[in-house]
Amino acid sequence: MALLARATAQGPAPAIALNAGVGEGLYSPMLRRFADGALLLEFDFAVPPKSADPRACRFSASLTAIPVRSGSVDLAICTEVLEHVEDDRRAVAELRRVLAPTGSLVLSVPTPPAVFDPAHVREGYTRQQLAAIFDASGLTIVDARYCMHAGFKAVLRHWRPRRVPLGVILGLAWLDRVLPLGTPMDMVVLARPRV
Output the pLDDT for position 114: 80
Mean pLDDT of the chain: 89
Edge-to-edge strand ranges of the sheet holding 56-60: 56-60, 39-44, 16-20, 73-79, 99-110, 186-193, 139-147
Which stretch of 6-10, 91-95, 147-151, 163-167 has the lowest confidence by average pLDDT? 163-167
d(Cα 45, Cα 156) in Å, to the nearest integer?
24
Q: What is the mean pLDDT of residues 150-160?
A: 64
Within 10 angstroms of residue 3's Cβ, the number of other Cβ atoms is 22
- pLDDT for 21-71, tens place per residue? 998 888 899 999 999 989 999 999 988 888 888 889 999 999 999 999 999
Closest CA to 103 of 134, 64, 136, 77: 77
- pLDDT for 84-123, tens place per residue? 999 999 999 999 999 999 999 999 999 998 877 888 999 8
CA atoms within 13 A on the CB side of 94: 19
User: Phi, psi at residue 193, to the nearest 5°?
Assistant: -60, 140
**Looking at the whole model, is its pTM more than 0.75?**
yes
Query: Angle at CA 174, nearest 5°, toward 149 and 167?
Result: 105
Closest CA to 28 of 77, 82, 100: 77
Contact of 66 with 105, CB cutoff 8 Å = no
pLDDT band at 172 (very low <50, low <70, confident <90, very high): confident
Q: Where along the chain do its domains lie?
A: 2-147+185-193
Q: What is the mean pLDDT of residues 131-145?
A: 97
CATH number of 2-147+185-193: 3.40.50.150
Output the pLDDT for position 160: 58
Which stretch of 96-110, 113-127, 152-166, 170-184 has the lowest confidence by average pLDDT? 152-166
